Structure 1
């Protein structure tokens, strides 16, 4: 006996399983309301045992659903409902969190990598597609947090699509430790150092993860490997990666500085944003390979010892050394640990000496400054606050739907970061809500209207057909937004289009003349036809029609049959 297919929210039919990962299964599905194929990702119910997670999950999915970009898999809907597979003894709060996404036909990047070596051109193209998606999402204020080959799809036409925006944040916010988070997400190999240490992350964490993906595409392996997530996380925090060309001699040396810069431990030493990463990648493809000396200098700059790095390494050791499964994957004699301890002790002694000298010279002015919190201040007040600390403000306009026009959205570096006297602080000032102009849609064909909406940054919503004898099929008759109106990007615009059909009523019993006039009024042609095997009427009346009552195409011919008078 066949079972009824599962339907979520009374709308989304769940069909066959098409993929699965550490925290979810993906099914092919069908939206019964809009009549389109979708992908449905159903998360592990263990992730949703408390209502706080479900709330975060919905909010993150809603944030992701507002993004519309060719390199990002669209999120259509999200929710949760009771799990029908939970037994009678299951907790009453057992639910199934799910998201409904665009159905993509293609191959996961992780499967492409596992299938064999990837050419340099393809590696650069794949990473460029990831960075294009991140450039858009970061400008929209959305940090992915879980960039990895398993979250990147390459379509049958070769286009890169990044998926699962927002899910990683909802999951990581519900996990208190590195071990718990890596157990759920399973992506320690692509963690940034700040994620591994449980610190707050921003867009530069995504750039680090993208650097790991580029490294793997160029060399066939990840830069750091270990027997446990904690072992790998430790290496992200403290160890220096080999340049890709040292692992794979076929990897072009010109890409080594790009990868090493992206994998910098300090977020401020990485590329400031995805656009700069893309530009550097494009330039390196045609650029010369750096010398060994230049690579050595760059490695020393990015990964060389410093008091700050030594302190971070010590803190990481305290956090991670309780896990006995840690395994080093980089070669090195055991005596290196002794020298590391000596170096750390020297750093501590130097710090104590500096502290003693500082307190003995109270009149010595400090040149260190802490960036103040100027968020939501007017730009003038923010400039004054920075000027009082001998810092320079560089104003950059940026649209915002949350901060009023003229007030500060954020700063770079952010509030609380220590900087030097005279440093330049980038202050992002709200230019108000971003708007787009609604194009003229009435009178266009439906394909033309779709192109016009896409070009304007708007979304096509429902399309309703309406009969009209004077318009060709799919001609736009009405739009839910007025032409030339200024509205928010990605607003959904609903359309009413001509069906190309008219409604034919039952004309039997009408006189032939009256029926003919009625057909002409609604855009149809009449063809009176005499029948000889029935009694005639005066005047002649219609006894049957060649078309049944209902909607038929404009311009159709309808045969009106009536009884002819006998010849005599």
Structure 2
């Protein structure tokens, strides 16, 4: 998670201010309200596990309901998608909390500046926070100095509610991660034994915290977390005043009760612990003290004296055997062998006085009894060493749990594994298991008929009776081993195709581009393996996206019809326009040119202009020039042959005077046949 990123469009992530085993904390800024906040994000490697995400969300919602001045407030929760690996994102839940300036109690302890008075005041604030959370049904499970802030105003703020509980649902040994069971130095015995944890477990951790505030060190230290946990189960803590003389007897009595192994003898709630602590600040010693069962090992204790009186009159050996049996019954091996012999320092005469006998055989029996106890002690030490080896090997908690069980206690009622888990969503099934008082874990496997993310089976099976807080493993389907490449990918955008492949149980492989006449730019053109084919689950599918462009084919030297058909083909799909051009060289109807060069790419729908040759029109004939007509020779007709004298061709002048106007001769011929005279021409 890089700084400067904004979550949910509101919370800006700034520099890293804290890091734990399961989450990172960044300083943030609420862009809407303009205030500083702290942003806690579940670690990215854990966010891939649906159980961790489910617990984180549910606990975050529960803690958001807490409202107490001594608890860091939770403002908001959400998820953020971050790049997990190439081409894949993971949703990481986050919690937006109150930003608290100041230092942790761990810093104050290391500085050595704490006084008993300030230590009491700080722990009283922690107990107030625990009281509020316990009333809300939330157990912190990881009370320690690093989870308590002290503000500049010297007020207490308890942090990290809910996270430890969410992580405790996942099974792991403490050698794998301390966060599963809490920090070793502050574990309650029941946490170390893997038993059910309740509010009194937080009070034990608060007692460890008080011990460290007063003395500067935890009550138990060791070379490893396992050895420290063993001490919480089997060893009594040192008296705080023996480490720091400033610790008063009143505080010693409070610590003794708070650190009692048996939770039934501890403070039963935070208010009683706080009241005893404030009384101790005034010098009041706690009346009942620790009330530990080890009082039975003291021969001067009333219980032992009563036991001795109850067997008066029995032989000395029987008395010693009965007393030993009582000790063994109250505190099973191997602790009984670590305790001082209940009758060491008591003479045989004293024993004879107790039962009123003075028999040397009884004395011999007593010596034999002590020898038997020595042999038992040696065997016990061997057992302890073997148990330590088993602890180192990672099974110590189970061994300790068996040794720490009290055979005289009543059997714990068993819990029934919920029904109908099979077929549920894994998060829903996990919640059902947790609500039943059990712990859920999960494994994944392929299944041909169960959809991915649904529960295939459970171990133990539904309806089985198991001890409380047992683990129930959920086998979750990863979908079929072979899946079909979705046919719906065609035409999807790259982002949508990636989501569809992930839902189908496949991954996105190589992404390339090709031209297409029909698929829009950026959409899936085809895949490899092909759409509808079967592929192994979780395998990669290559995507080929459309560029939205088309390669123009070569169209010249084709006929007009061929060129138009090629442009109209589905692989090209480009419109065309025809322009005719006279060409006396190229055969008419042949394309001589195209507006876009062949093999160039154009956008879909680009018009291509084709130039088509046509025959030029025939030329009109030129008009012939006009020729001059040849001159014809003048010919004269021969004169007709007549008998008699030849008359002249010229008209002869008339002897009569020409008619003049007004003489009555207008319109009449000057000559006529009637006026020819007696020349006899009329008869001819």
Structure 1 length normalisation: TM-score? 0.53
Larger Rg: 2
User: CA offsets per residue over residues 256-281 of structure 1, 9 Å max, x none?
Assistant: 11111111111111001000001111
Q: Distance in 2 between matches of 1:151 and 1:138?
A: 17
Conservation of the 8 A alpha-carbon contact between 2:139 and 2:202: yes
Correspondence for 1:107 among 87, 103, 107: 103
The aligned counterpart of 1:70 is 69
- Aligned residue for 2:196, secondary structure, equals coil
User: CA offsets per residue over residues 94-153 of structure 1, 9 Å max, x none?
Assistant: 443321100111111111111114100000001000000111111111111111111100
Correspondence for 2:390 among 308, 322, 333: 322
The aligned counterpart of 1:206 is 202
The aligned counterpart of 2:228 is 232
The aligned counterpart of 2:679 is none
User: CA offsets per residue over residues 148-167 of structure 1, 9 Å max, x none?
Assistant: 11110011111101011111
- Aligned residue for 2:79, secondary structure, equals strand
Correspondence for 2:217 among 215, 221, 226: 221
After superposition, where does 1:137-536 map in structure 2 within 5 Å? 137-182=133-178, 187-288=183-284, 300-301=294-295, 307=329, 309-310=331-332, 321-324=389-392
- How far residue 177 of structure 1 moved from its aligned partner, in angstroms, is 2.9
Moved more, 109-118 or 305-314: 305-314
- Aligned residue for 2:277, secondary structure, equals helix
User: CA offsets per residue over residues 182-211 of structure 1, 9 Å max, x none?
Assistant: 156761111111111111100000000000
Evaluate the alpha carbon distance shift between residue 286 and residue 4 of structure 1 in structure 2; reply closer, same or farther with a 3 A threshold.
closer
Evaluate the alpha carbon distance shift between residue 324 and residue 217 of structure 1 in structure 2; reply closer, same or farther with a 3 A threshold.
same
Q: Distance in 2 between matches of 1:125 and 1:279?
A: 12
- How far residue 25 of structure 1 moved from its aligned partner, in angstroms, is 2.3
Evaluate the alpha carbon distance shift between residue 215 and residue 321 of structure 1 in structure 2; reply closer, same or farther with a 3 A threshold.
same
The aligned counterpart of 2:58 is 59
- How far residue 317 of structure 1 moved from its aligned partner, in angstroms, is 8.8
Report how many residues are paired: 337
- Aligned Cα root-mean-square deviation (Å): 3.9
The aligned counterpart of 1:22 is 21
Q: Distance in 1 between matches of 2:384 and 2:178?
A: 16
Q: Distance in 2 between matches of 1:43 and 1:80?
A: 10
Conservation of the 8 A alpha-carbon contact between 2:280 and 2:286: no
The aligned counterpart of 1:38 is 37
Q: Distance in 1 between matches of 2:27 and 2:290?
A: 50
- How far residue 302 of structure 1 moved from its aligned partner, in angstroms, is 10
- How far residue 46 of structure 1 moved from its aligned partner, in angstroms, is 2.5
- How far residue 170 of structure 1 moved from its aligned partner, in angstroms, is 0.3
Q: Distance in 2 between matches of 1:17 and 1:302?
A: 54
Q: Distance in 2 between matches of 1:57 and 1:316?
A: 40
Conservation of the 8 A alpha-carbon contact between 1:264 and 1:302: no
- How far residue 325 of structure 1 moved from its aligned partner, in angstroms, is 8.7
- Aligned residue for 2:24, secondary structure, equals strand
Evaluate the alpha carbon distance shift between residue 187 and residue 370 of structure 1 in structure 2; reply closer, same or farther with a 3 A threshold.
closer
Q: Distance in 2 between matches of 1:297 and 1:237?
A: 16
The aligned counterpart of 1:487 is none
Q: Distance in 1 between matches of 2:65 and 2:144?
A: 22
The aligned counterpart of 1:539 is none
The aligned counterpart of 1:470 is none
Gaps of 5+ in 2: 299-326, 336-379, 395-401, 415-434, 436-466, 469-684
Conservation of the 8 A alpha-carbon contact between 1:262 and 1:271: yes
- How far residue 10 of structure 1 moved from its aligned partner, in angstroms, is 2.4
Q: Distance in 2 between matches of 1:216 and 1:173?
A: 29
Evaluate the alpha carbon distance shift between residue 286 and residue 70 of structure 1 in structure 2; reply closer, same or farther with a 3 A threshold.
same
Gaps of 5+ in 1: 327-343, 355-367, 374-401, 403-415, 418-568
The aligned counterpart of 2:423 is none
Q: Distance in 2 between matches of 1:142 and 1:164?
A: 12
Q: Distance in 2 between matches of 1:199 and 1:308?
A: 20
Conservation of the 8 A alpha-carbon contact between 2:181 and 2:187: no
Conservation of the 8 A alpha-carbon contact between 2:208 and 2:259: yes
Evaluate the alpha carbon distance shift between residue 274 and residue 186 of structure 1 in structure 2; reply closer, same or farther with a 3 A threshold.
closer
Q: Distance in 2 between matches of 1:97 and 1:309?
A: 46
- How far residue 316 of structure 1 moved from its aligned partner, in angstroms, is 10
The aligned counterpart of 2:10 is 11
- Aligned residue for 2:218, secondary structure, equals coil
Evaluate the alpha carbon distance shift between residue 126 and residue 316 of structure 1 in structure 2; reply closer, same or farther with a 3 A threshold.
farther
- Aligned residue for 1:180, secondary structure, equals coil
Conservation of the 8 A alpha-carbon contact between 1:24 and 1:42: yes
- How far residue 22 of structure 1 moved from its aligned partner, in angstroms, is 3.0
Conservation of the 8 A alpha-carbon contact between 2:15 and 2:27: yes
- Aligned residue for 2:390, secondary structure, equals coil
Q: Distance in 2 between matches of 1:153 and 1:66?
A: 20
- Aligned residue for 2:108, secondary structure, equals helix
Evaluate the alpha carbon distance shift between residue 311 and residue 59 of structure 1 in structure 2; reply closer, same or farther with a 3 A threshold.
farther
The aligned counterpart of 2:93 is 97
Evaluate the alpha carbon distance shift between residue 309 and residue 116 of structure 1 in structure 2; reply closer, same or farther with a 3 A threshold.
same
